[in-house]
């Protein structure tokens, strides 16, 4: 066993395994820095073209604080294994692809009544 930044890594006993390729952009970085880069790369929430159109047509404006809350909700859903989630925030409903971290569509409070959301396997109310 080898310890790298408080992470125990087993030594390989199989000599036939090829060594991992080193990416030049990671040269000089320690393991923790590379891990942080990989983790943080996938945390930005995107808005699909369809959702962008719905936000505009329904005059829905999400503040930075709301987007941060949605991002936290997506992380919680991801931790539970959810793939497609309904996120209810204030008076807005968002359908979000958790895997792609992308808002797929948005519905305001006026259109929420009698609305049926399909193809979701989880919901987060924030």
pLDDT tens for residues 19-66?
Answer: 455 555 556 677 766 666 566 555 689 999 999 999 999 999 999 999
Q: Could you list the residue range(s) of the whole structural domain that residue 82 is in?
A: 46-125
Cβ proximity of 73 and 59 under 8 Å = no
Average pLDDT across the chain, whole number? 82
Please indicate whether residue 27 or residue 79 has the higher confidence score (pLDDT).
79
Q: Does 69 reside within a domain?
A: yes
pLDDT on residue 41:
52
- Gap between the Cα atoms of 10 and 24, Å rounded: 24
Q: Does 53 reside within a domain?
A: yes
**DSSP state, residue 117:** -
* Strand arrangement, sheet containing 92-97: 46-47, 102-108, 92-97, 84-89, 122-125
pLDDT on residue 31:
75
Q: Does 76 reside within a domain?
A: yes
> What total of structural domains would you count in the chain?
1
Which pTM value belongs to this model?
A: 0.67
Q: Does 111 reside within a domain?
A: yes
- Gap between the Cα atoms of 77 and 80, Å rounded: 5
């Amino acid at each position: 066993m080898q310890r790298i930044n408080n992470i125990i890594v087993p030594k390989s006993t199989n000599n036939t395994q090829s060594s991992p390729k080193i990416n030049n952009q990671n040269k000089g970085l320690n393991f923790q820095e590379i891990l942080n880069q990989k983790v943080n790369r996938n945390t930005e929430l995107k808005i699909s073209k369809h959702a962008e159109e719905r936000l505009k047509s329904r005059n829905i404006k999400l503040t930075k604080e709301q987007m941060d809350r949605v991002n936290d909700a997506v992380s919680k859903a991801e931790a539970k294994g959810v793939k497609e989630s309904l996120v209810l925030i204030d008076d807005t409903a968002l359908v979000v692809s958790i895997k792609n971290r992308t808002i797929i569509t948005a519905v305001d409070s006026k259109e929420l009544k009698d609305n049926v959301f399909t193809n979701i396997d989880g919901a987060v109310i924030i």
